[in-house]
Amino acid sequence: MESQTPLPDAGLSKPRDVHAYRAGVLIRAHLFLATTVGSLALWHWPQRWLISGAPVLTYILWLGEATGYRVLPFVPFWTVASLINLTYAVATTSWLLFGIYLPLCYMATLISCLCQFELASNFTRSSLGSILAQLHFINDKIAFFNIPALEIDTEVEGLLVIRGLTLSLLHLSLVAHGVEVGIKLSDDMELSLQVDEVEIKLFRRVEIGDVYGNLKGGEYEMTFGSLADATTASTDGASLMVSDTPLLLAAAKNADTRQPEVEATKEKLTNGDGPVDVSAKDAAASLTQVNLDKDKANSRYAAALKHIDETSSIRQARQQTDMMASRAPNADSRTFDPSNSGDMRAAICSELHDKPSVPHPPTRSVKVTTLQNLTAPKVRKFMHRLPFLLRLLLNPIAYFHTIHIKAITVGGSGKWLQHMLHEMVFRDYLERATGVTNLERRLSAWLSDANFVVEIANIVGMAQVPLSTAFDITTQLRVDDVMAYRTLPAKVDLKQVVRLGGADASITVPSFLLPHHEHILPPLPTEEVEREKETQVAEADGIPKQIQAQHDLEQTRKDETNLTLSVHARLPAVFDQELLNFVAALIKATKIIEMDPGPDSDHSELVEDSGSEIDVPEPKKRGFREMTRTFQTDLAKGMRRVAIDAVTNDRWIAKLVGKSIRRLESAKGDVGYTGLVPISLESYRKAAEEEIKLLP
């Protein structure tokens, strides 16, 4: 048991007074039981009260008060008892409310018994422990380990791994230990996310620790880079547990196989005669079921959590960073401060970049589409006809579960950014555009050996799902600190290149984008509507109105709607001069490329015959034309070079911009942008069903 019920009278300090108080409570509990039984013998109305479970729950809580282990010890007993029975009085006026109250009351009774009585908890622990080998029952907690991975096989491919789950019945909280996510965004891009702990406090908040993410590109960085886009959604709902999918095999191939020194310890403890590793089937056949007591359950649970913590990639990266930082020379001149939480997160994220996206994959996985198909067709049809129930469910979930994230740190490799610049900007111009080669070398030198990390700290997010479809869904995000780093993993050194005073964002989503809400989708655009939009474009008053009308016309033709995204960065802001130099050099390179006429252009004009009567031989005419063409081409290139250098002197521009930006270091206010994100409605119209909605 975790905590005893505080005594209502602070003067009861002696053990004799405590025993007297608890004896009195026990007597009152038995009197309540006797009164309830007597009422059942005399009247009929207490039968419905007994069926509801309210008197049983009240008696159980009274016994917990008498033993000193009542649930919710911080709330006075009479307040809890009154709330239980007053809620019953309201619920008994409606068959719907009574149907909701009945299972909730019996669930509360079960949880109270597990938390208050050791006999009930021991019996449940031994029973569940003999049924589920991976389930741990510890006091008021239920823990699961070796959980199958969730294989994402919908719009994108990916793998979600949760290494452990702990459900606390007393605190009504769910804790996920060791969350690892790997998502293949495209053939040359992958996102990995890792967090050590996520705690969901039911009807209160969601607390997430330090989240580390990495964008990976190229065959050698990606865990799932060698996989083709062959993931298909299962339609028959078969193969609930899959052990040989391409995603699992790729994750297992790249998994972090470093384990604690189990083999050496096993040989040492057994004097070289250690047990032989066997298959899971053979091991299960030789198991003997034992009823675990409290001490064994606690030790097994603690050992499982310790193993997850010791093999965590985040913990190992932190240890590696600390070790390399302690060995690095010239610690006084180093910009990396191990005591600074922001610097440490950036260094850890940079260290995690070369690690597998999913370091600890389990042996089995469950597909998302398989779980979706587990729902019976009749149930899906019923939910489809009652979209209001979905909003009724999402409204309290979103309202009571604000999300608090300690920090999100996302990094990317400088070599990958260098490759992207080469492929998208410089590839076709390095051989002929004068000056581009030197600029490309400067940009590559700043990118090649570094990683770039963006960190946002102290994040609070909340969402509002309205019950009425007349209102849109709104999501708000607030960030206290925004930083960007350029890190050198080989030297365990980093430099902060950007820092903002904070940021906030809001997203507005139309309600008809929710599942089962296609009945309120905007109607398909007709020719008459398109003609009306074209008329609005023609009659628009002024350029701004004309551009807006043209955008509406294009979206009407494409059958699109919009998400409204608003982002604001809070000042002051600090920018490093090296970053400004890099941006200025990149702008200069793009300007040179824009002014380059192309490989097939001719910069000279043909020298035409002036009509002179002087008879010039044909070979001399051709030589004169070639000389003139060469002269004009060189002159045009030289003048263009001078113009580009005059307009795009990147070093001078960077210094000038740096002087202007330094004023932002003492400025206040915010700078933001509000834009629209288009979403096609075609897929939503295809998923529409013709059944009439009962509660739209």
H or E stretch at 94: none
**In percent, how much of the chain has pLDDT > 90?**
24
Average pLDDT on 530-557 reads 89
- In this prediction, residue 563 carries a pLDDT of 93
H or E stretch at 281: helix 280-285
- In this prediction, residue 240 carries a pLDDT of 63
Q: Which residue has the higher pLDDT, 627 or 247?
A: 247
> Is residue 598's pLDDT more than 60?
no
Strands 149-153 and 365-367, bridge-based pairing: parallel
- In this prediction, residue 625 carries a pLDDT of 54
Q: Which of 53-67, 82-96, 276-290, 557-571 has the lowest mean pLDDT?
A: 276-290
Average pLDDT on 42-52 reads 85
**In percent, how much of the chain has pLDDT > 70?**
75
Average pLDDT on 343-364 reads 90
Omega before 356 within 30 of 0, i.e. cis: no
> Is residue 443's pLDDT more than 60?
yes
Q: Which of 195-209, 361-375, 549-563 has the lowest mean pLDDT?
A: 361-375
Average pLDDT on 510-535 reads 89
Q: What are the distances in angstroms from CA 346 to CA 316, 323, 336?
A: 15, 16, 10
Residue 82 corresponds to which tokens in the numbers above?
């009154």
- In this prediction, residue 377 carries a pLDDT of 81
> Is residue 153's pLDDT more than 60?
yes
pLDDT tens figures, 101-147: 998 999 999 888 888 887 887 777 666 655 555 556 676 788 888 88
> Is residue 615's pLDDT more than 70?
no
Q: Which of 91-100, 191-200, 208-217, 594-603 has the lowest mean pLDDT?
A: 594-603
- How far is C-alpha 149 from the geometric centre of its chain's CA atoms? 16
Mean pLDDT (the chain) is 78
In the numeric block, the tokens 């699109």 are attached to 560
Query: Model confidence at 645, in pLDDT bands (50, 70, 90)?
Result: low
Contact between 206 and 403 under an 8 Å Cβ cutoff? The reply is yes
Contact between 511 and 472 under an 8 Å Cβ cutoff? The reply is yes
pLDDT tens figures, 655-681: 767 777 777 888 888 889 999 999 999
Q: Find the distance separating the first CA and the last CA of the chain, reported in whole Å.
A: 47
In the numeric block, the tokens 């865990």 are attached to 223
In the numeric block, the tokens 């610049």 are attached to 421
- In this prediction, residue 485 carries a pLDDT of 93
Query: Distance between CA 462 and CA 378 in Å, rounded?
Result: 33
pLDDT tens figures, 545-574: 888 899 899 998 999 999 999 999 998 989
Q: Which residue has the higher pLDDT, 264 or 405?
A: 405
Q: Which residue has the higher pLDDT, 619 or 504?
A: 504
Residue 440 corresponds to which tokens in the numbers above?
């490309």
